[in-house]
């Protein structure tokens, strides 16, 4: 759960993704697509799916005569009377307390906030607060009622955020990717405590940490996790009762988009701030793909986190792979989400060639999408994103890239990608590129739907060096690699070039002699390398590319 005011990213909860009895469809009954999209994002990050029960009119009669629990209890009763009670369903109501205009036991505008906001300009609100003494304190509240089949009463949850009314009207536009971050609701006027701008103007991760509705959603998710645990109690912990009454018909999901056969299965790879997360969140929100974040899987592994682990988790992730196997993330994804991987899904953030091999073996239809951007563009995005602990200099940023490269996949992913996107433009242009990938349209600028290695096997120096090491079965000096490359009849690989390409991929080729920054050319010729397991995996993956690899010539 996000701590109040924090921005720690949630991870999938074990009981929502482990094999066993899983919760069925959970419905959010609302007429607000913005509320649903926010709920979907929060639920997805915890490993749970929420479905949208579309309501063309207001979902229930908003009777403000009583309290918020009274309103929600009546609302749940009306809704279950219309749709039946076969699935868990919940509703949400937002209220507001403006301290200067409220009484000790009565909030203003309270539950009337939607009507009040529609009829009140920022200038009207500002004048009223000044006339009442100038106290701009505000508390925004979210209340949820959950109906569980077989339970007569709704289960209630509450979240709230304290802050103040901004000093001036909003000066930002709606976030098209996350439309609940908008100036068109009270989110445009409300500045949470410890924030310097309105909730609707905050970056996504910071906004989630301060959002009143997210806090209510997470209390709801906590309870659903408890229900998931109850579903998996051992036989000795319960006795069987008669079956419940016949369940009601399932409503169509908002994003039940028909796909061809097979459904899209995408592995999105790229360097920091290239656009991986934006790609995955866009195809999840707009095209209905199940979004699985590889780093969240890593964080959930049962490996002890040590004080020496760096804030970004590189050391922790590397130790987890060393202890559990370099394909552990892929195996965990298939184990946890197995039955969902028959449908459309996207995985972001794989960093190891063994993970890629395992995903290709276990889900053969997967395609690798490489998202690229220049170092300058990525660094500018990184600075603008300004996460806590973010690198502030280009040198620090390059060091971060080097730590990512150490996992092995990123330095060679160009050779293994099925689709490539060059993401150098505005986010709107990038979304069009992403849509082109989902629609299998190769005509979009910057999108290559049939990516291939730059060189074929006769001219690919890294491939040939690793092949020579693999065939030798023993470590070789660079001058020995040069000699064997000439014996194979192809263009000879100079020993200094062999040293250069192998030194760049330490995860694929182990250097057995200590590095010497003042080594002469003769010394570099005697440097020895041995192919690693990931190096052999890389060769296997490249050989498996068929004519996308073998048809390339020296001019490619």
CB 456 within 8 A of CB 556: yes
Helix 375-385 and helix 394-405, axial crossing angle in degrees, nearest 10: 110
Nearest to 371 by CA among 458, 311, 283: 283
Whole-angstrom distance, CA of residue 344 vs CA of residue 347: 11
Query: What is the structure's pLDDT at 178?
Result: 95
The Cβ of residue 361 has, within 10 Å, a number of other Cβ atoms equal to 12
The domains of the chain, with CATH numbers, are 14-231 (3.90.950.10), 265-448 (3.40.50.300), 461-550 (1.10.10.10)
Query: What is the structure's pLDDT at 253?
Result: 36
CB 344 within 8 A of CB 262: no
CB 36 within 8 A of CB 118: no
Please, which residues bridge with residue 369 across strands?
268, 419
Nearest to 382 by CA among 406, 401, 369: 401
Query: What is the structure's pLDDT at 83?
Result: 65
Whole-angstrom distance, CA of residue 421 vs CA of residue 370: 6
Written as one string, the DSSP assignment of 316-329 is HHHHHHHHH-TTHH
The Cβ of residue 522 has, within 10 Å, a number of other Cβ atoms equal to 9
CB 27 within 8 A of CB 51: yes
Assess whether the previous peptide bond of 510 is cis (omega < 30° from 0).
no
Measured between its terminal Cα atoms, the distance across the chain in Å is 49
Residues 6 or more apart whose Cβ sits within 8 Å of residue 283: 264, 266, 289, 291, 346, 434, 438
The residue whose two tokens read 């001219």 is 459
In order of 219, 306, 322, 406, the CA distances from 319 in angstroms are 33, 10, 5, 12
Alpha helices, DSSP H, located in 439-491: 461-472, 478-487
Burial (CB count within 10 angstroms: exposed 0-12, middle 13-18, buried 19+), residue 205:
middle
Across the chain, which distance is largest between two alpha carbons, in Å? 91
Whole-angstrom distance, CA of residue 452 vs CA of residue 555: 13
Q: Which strand (E) or helix (H) includes residue 160? A: strand 155-165
The Cβ of residue 232 has, within 10 Å, a number of other Cβ atoms equal to 13
SS3 204: helix
CB 94 within 8 A of CB 141: yes
Residues 6 or more apart whose Cβ sits within 8 Å of residue 406: 314, 318, 506, 507
CB 482 within 8 A of CB 492: yes
Whole-angstrom distance, CA of residue 78 vs CA of residue 145: 12
How far does Cα 328 stand from its chain's mean position?
18
Which regions in the chain score pLDDT beneath 50? 1-4, 6, 241-258, 516-522, 554-556
Whole-angstrom distance, CA of residue 147 vs CA of residue 80: 8
Query: What is the structure's pLDDT at 340?
Result: 82
Whole-model pTM? 0.73
| pLDDT 10s digits, 428-453 | 999 999 999 998 776 889 999 999 99
């Amino acid at each position: 759960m996000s701590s109040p005011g924090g921005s720690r990213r949630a991870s999938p909860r074990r009981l929502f993704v482990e094999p066993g009895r899983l919760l069925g469809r959970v419905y959010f009954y609302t007429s607000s697509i913005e509320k649903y999209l926010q709920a979907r994002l929060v639920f997805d990050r915890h490993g749970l799916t929420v479905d949208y029960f579309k309501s063309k009119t207001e979902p229930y009669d908003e009777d403000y005569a009583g309290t918020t629990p009274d309103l929600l209890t009546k609302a749940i009763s009306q809704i279950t009377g219309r749709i039946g009670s076969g699935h868990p369903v919940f509703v949400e109501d937002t209220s507001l307390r403006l301290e200067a205009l409220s009484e000790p036991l009565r909030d203003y505008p309270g539950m009337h906030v939607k009507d009040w906001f529609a009829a009140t300009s920022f200038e009207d609100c500002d004048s009223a607060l000044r006339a009442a003494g100038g106290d701009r304190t505000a508390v925004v509240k979210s209340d949820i009622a959950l109906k569980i089949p077989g339970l007569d009463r709704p289960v209630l949850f509450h979240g709230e955020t304290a802050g103040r009314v901004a000093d001036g009207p909003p000066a930002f536009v709606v976030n098209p990717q996350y439309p609940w971050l908008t100036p068109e609701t009270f989110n445009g006027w409300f500045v949470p405590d410890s924030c310097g701008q309105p909730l609707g103007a905050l970056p996504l991760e910071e906004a989630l940490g301060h959002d009143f509705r997210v806090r209510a959603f997470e209390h709801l998710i906590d309870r659903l996790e408890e229900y998931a645990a109850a579903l998996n109690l051992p036989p000795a912990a319960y006795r069987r009762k008669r079956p419940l009454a016949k369940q009601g018909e399932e409503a169509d999901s908002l994003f039940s988009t028909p796909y061809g056969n097979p459904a899209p299965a995408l592995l999105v790879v790229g360097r920091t701030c290239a656009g991986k997360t934006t790609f995955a969140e866009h195809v999840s929100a707009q095209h209905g793909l199940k979004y699985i974040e590889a780093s969240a899987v890593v964080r959930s592994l049962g490996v002890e986190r040590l004080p020496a682990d760096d804030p970004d988790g590189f050391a922790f992730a590397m130790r987890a792979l060393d202890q559990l196997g370099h394909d552990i993330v892929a195996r965990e994804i298939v184990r946890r989400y197995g039955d969902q991987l028959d449908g459309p899904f996207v995985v972001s953030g794989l960093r190891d060639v063994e993970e890629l091999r395992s995903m290709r073996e276990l889900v053969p239809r997967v395609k690798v999408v490489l998202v690229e951007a220049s170092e300058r563009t990525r660094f500018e995005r990184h600075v603008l994103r300004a996460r806590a602990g973010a690198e502030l200099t280009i040198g620090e940023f390059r060091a971060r890239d080097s730590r990512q490269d150490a996992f092995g996949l990123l330095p060679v992913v160009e050779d293994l990608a099925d689709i490539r996107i060059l993401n150098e433009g505005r986010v709107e242009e990038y979304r069009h590129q992403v849509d082109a990938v989902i629609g299998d349209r190769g005509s979009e600028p910057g999108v290559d739907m049939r990516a291939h290695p730059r060189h074929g096997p006769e001219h690919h120096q890294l491939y040939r060096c690793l092949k020579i090491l693999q065939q030798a079965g023993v470590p070789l000096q660079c001058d020995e690699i040069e000699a064997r490359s000439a014996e194979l009849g192809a263009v000879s690989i100079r020993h200094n070039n062999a040293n250069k390409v192998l030194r760049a991929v330490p995860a694929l080729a182990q250097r057995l002699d200590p590095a010497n920054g003042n080594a002469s050319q003769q010394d570099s010729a005697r440097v020895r390398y041995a192919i690693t397991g990931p190096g052999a995996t890389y060769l296997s993956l490249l050989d498996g590319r068929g004519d996308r690899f073998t048809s390339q010539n020296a001019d490619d």
